[in-house]
Amino acid sequence: MSVDVAWAVEWVRRSAQTIAEHREELIELDRLIGDGDHGENLDRGFRAVVAKLDALDEPPAQIGDVLKLVATTLMSTVGGAAGPLYGTAYLRAAKATATDELDSAGVVALVEAALDGIVARGKATTGEKTMVDAWSPAAEAAVHAADAGGSPADVLAAAAQAAAEGAQATIPLAATKGRASYLGERSMGHLDPGARSTELLLAEAAAAAA
């Protein structure tokens, strides 16, 4: 079994839809501990991605082509921290997926590359109340699912579930990275918006595969 270019396109379209649906939630989460623009910025970015997808003369040949389109569009249209972080994540993922289909190991490579991009760009690690707290357990879960013989859909489902749990685990944390770190202990008790958007995006990756 594998996931292909059609899956990648479906993931992007689903991502745009879920970000639009959760725009106000993400804005509110970010208003509590950040700049308040996370939902608005991501929504604008993914709308632009879909517009570019729709305008293509030919369908993308490789999964990496789809993810590179996401990366370059987010980097050019999304302000704040989300643009560079997600842009780098999708760009690294694109380099790891220069093929027309992915097996389970390929899905692991995608998730791990995205995490590596975020860590490299944001200089963050787990426990600092950032999107890394969702991406890191997602990558670990993806590895375990693949090692256990899971299909690409199984691997994505495991990653999405771990991202959801990781996002919830940011609530009691005190932020030590990014804008939220200015609040110190006052950031405790709030869900990190980047971890929440990570949860949403990976859930759509799994849904597109299922």
Task: Report pLDDT digits (tens) over 35-78.
Answer: 889 999 999 999 999 999 999 999 999 999 999 999 999 999 98
- Over residues 84-111, the mean pLDDT reads 97
What pLDDT shows up at residue 181?
A: 63
Cα–Cα distance for residue pair 84/70, rounded to 1 Å: 12
* Cβ neighbour number for residue 187 with a 10 Å cutoff: 22
Model confidence at 1: pLDDT above 90: no
Q: What are 75-88's pLDDT values in tens digits?
A: 999 877 889 999 99
Least confident of 18-22, 27-31, 34-38: 34-38
What pLDDT shows up at residue 173?
A: 87
What pLDDT shows up at residue 30?
A: 93
Q: What are 107-125's pLDDT values in tens digits?
A: 999 999 999 999 999 998 9
Cα–Cα distance for residue pair 133/200, rounded to 1 Å: 14
* Amino acid found at 103: D
- Structure tokens given for 119: 């860590």
Q: If you write DSSP's letter for every residue of 33-58 in order, what string do you get?
A: HS-S-HHHHHHHHHHHHHHHHHH-SS
- Over residues 88-97, the mean pLDDT reads 98
Going along the chain from its start, the domains and CATH numbers come out as 3-209 (1.25.40.340)
Model confidence at 91: pLDDT above 90: yes
What pLDDT shows up at residue 159?
A: 98
What pLDDT shows up at residue 81?
A: 81
Q: What are 135-188's pLDDT values in tens digits?
A: 999 999 999 999 999 999 999 999 999 999 999 999 998 787 676 665 667 678
- Over residues 23-35, the mean pLDDT reads 93
Burial class (CB in 10 A: 0-12, 13-18, 19+), 49: buried
pTM equals: 0.95
Q: If you write DSSP's letter for every residue of 183-207 in order, what string do you get?
A: GGGGGTTS--HHHHHHHHHHHHHHH
